[in-house]
Structure 1
Amino acid sequence: MAPLWYMNFDFDIDKYVDRIVPAPPWQALPYSLSYLLGYRKNPSEKKFGNILLAARALLGVFISILLIQLLSHQIPWVAADGPRIIASFGAAAVLEFYAFESPFAQPRNFIASQILATVIGVSLSKLFQLRSNDDWIRWLGGALACALTTSLMGLTKTVHPPAGATALIAVVDDRIVSVGWKLIPLALLSCGIMLLVALILNNVYSRFPLYWWTPSDLGALPQKQLSGLSLDDEEKGKARQFEIIIGDKVVVPEHIQLTPEERLLLEQISSRL
């Protein structure tokens, strides 16, 4: 018998949460609106090169970061002593406007991870301040906040790397620490602004988001549960739509865009297998 620490324990939160998450109402909305929200009657989209992709990312990152700073500055307490923007949103912008097909950039990961990070970061900051104001206490709290956020993102399927930085600076950055619980609405405002800009720009000759909650078909879950069918095989089949296969040749789903450099890297990996 394998030792306890070696056993393959696996927790899938979607098995429990997907049952209560409603299916997206895209077909009930005007197609122009559902298109902007990532829905496609025909998933096949036009492709374009990395030059246009970089130009669009340049525009998207610039507009979203600028808007966040301008609008947050209209909040009295931000204008007085708070930061106009959380530094980790610079990294988030790279995901949302250049690597927007990554699971890390989808709305569930983007928004939920920042909520987790701010709640954990501010909570630990307040808790450790009760003990001491020594620097080593803050360093310990920052490390713990980043570690806890990473673990919870993994368990909740909301991994978004910039959120680790959000949790860290919520404890170790003096200006962020002074904001306290107000960091949570500031992060949500930043998420909302960046997501809105991403929905407008990323849906020009592309598709964003690929999904809001999960790549699985939420509308089919109740029927599968009533019929007693296994959800695992169906969910695995849906997930394969987002897989890149590397074997004798590289097979890339039509809705996934790769830059020439990324495709060349995959072909080099394929040639070595």
Structure 2
Amino acid sequence: MAVVVPFWQLNFDIDKYVNRLIPDPPWHAVPYPIAYILGYRKSLPETPLGNLLLAARALLGVFISILLIQVISHQIPWVAADGPRIIGSFGAAAVLEFYAFESPFAQPRNFIASQVIATVVGVSLCKLFQLHSNEEWIRWLGGSLACAATTSLMGLTKTIHPPAGATALLAVVDDRAVQIGWKLIPLALLSCSIMLIVALVLNNIFSRFPLYWWTAANLRSIPQEQLSGLSVDDEEKGKSQRFEIIIGDKIIVPEHIQLSAEERLLLEKLSSRL
């Protein structure tokens, strides 16, 4: 008998359809110093930083990235003439990328994809509403809808990144953003690239960033069609091997399990007592 799920409990998991198309990161083919800067570690991540050093590094990272975005974008003729030198929402993005960089919201997939969604939705709705009228109330309506639509799309695509909501709003209500129209999309991508490069360099000093590029799930997990050919005992064994954390003289954590700084510290304390 089929089970009917109420509509308010329905879920859409985009990773169910997309992850099978995403290749596993080729870390074995990348020189370790480069892989290290890209967030790959051969062993358990380092001891968490104290907040003094973390704050100092964030100060440097936010300052450098925001300054570079403004300087480089100002060299683009259409930005210097009509557009904003920097999209205001990147001030909030910098806080995530350099201080809360272990948050899922700060990982590259969320950071980049959300800004693409925000600019495409924002500019599209801005152009659409301008066909009706240029009155102020139309812009308010378009800005509200752009922010709302972007939030929903980020939720469905697992790319939540709060500053992107502001990007969508600015695409409709900010005069300079409206002036450059579709060019806001490459400007956002350029800003993302600059900030991400600076974050990769600085955040990997004494820390690890990003924790993952696409998803925290293990892309190398046993495919369902392979599990269907295993016995129940073999299937359970395969699952347990993928999710097992070993604590002893050395802590072994599967790559797909992402731990917070507090969780890693707790594991280290447990290891020292065993």
TM superposition score normalised by structure 2 = 0.83
Is the CA contact 1:119–1:184 (under 8 Å) kept in the aligned structure 2?
yes
Report the Cα offset of residue 254 of structure 1. Answer: 1.4
2:211 aligned with 1:210: yes
Q: What amino acid is aligned across from residue 167 of structure 1 in structure 2?
A: A
Q: Which residue of 2 aligns with 1:19?
A: 20
SS of structure 1 residue aligned to 2:220:
helix
Match of 1:253 among 258, 263, 266: 263
Q: What amino acid is aligned across from residue 202 of structure 1 in structure 2?
A: N
Give runs of ≥4 in structure 1 deviating > 6 Å.
none
Report the Cα offset of residue 216 of structure 1. Answer: 1.3
Structure whose CA Rg is larger: 2
Q: What amino acid is aligned across from residue 108 of structure 1 in structure 2?
A: R
Q: What amino acid is aligned across from residue 171 of structure 2 in structure 1?
A: A
Match of 1:241 among 254, 257, 261: 257
Is the CA contact 2:45–2:207 (under 8 Å) kept in the aligned structure 1?
no
Report the Cα offset of residue 3 of structure 1. Answer: 9.3
Q: What amino acid is aligned across from residue 119 of structure 1 in structure 2?
A: V
Q: Which residue of 2 aligns with 1:182?
A: 183
Q: What CA deviation, in whole Å up to 9, does each residue of 1:114-167 have, x standing for no partner?
A: 000000000000000000111111111000000000000000000000000000
For 1:240 and 1:218, the matched residues in 2 are separated by: 8
Q: Which residue of 2 aligns with 1:76?
A: 77
After superposition, where does 1:1-273 map in structure 2 within 5 Å? 4-6=6-8, 8-220=9-221, 223-228=222-227, 237=243, 241-242=257-258, 252-254=262-264
TM superposition score normalised by structure 1 = 0.84
For 1:46 and 1:68, the matched residues in 2 are separated by: 31
In structure 2, the gaps of 5 or more residues are: 229-234, 244-253, 267-274
Report the Cα offset of residue 255 of structure 1. Answer: 7.7
State the aligned residue count: 244
For 2:265 and 2:44, the matched residues in 1 are separated by: 6
Report the Cα offset of residue 2 of structure 1. Answer: 8.8
Report the Cα offset of residue 240 of structure 1. Answer: 8.6
* C-alpha distance 162-239 of structure 1, shift in aligned 2 (>3 A): farther
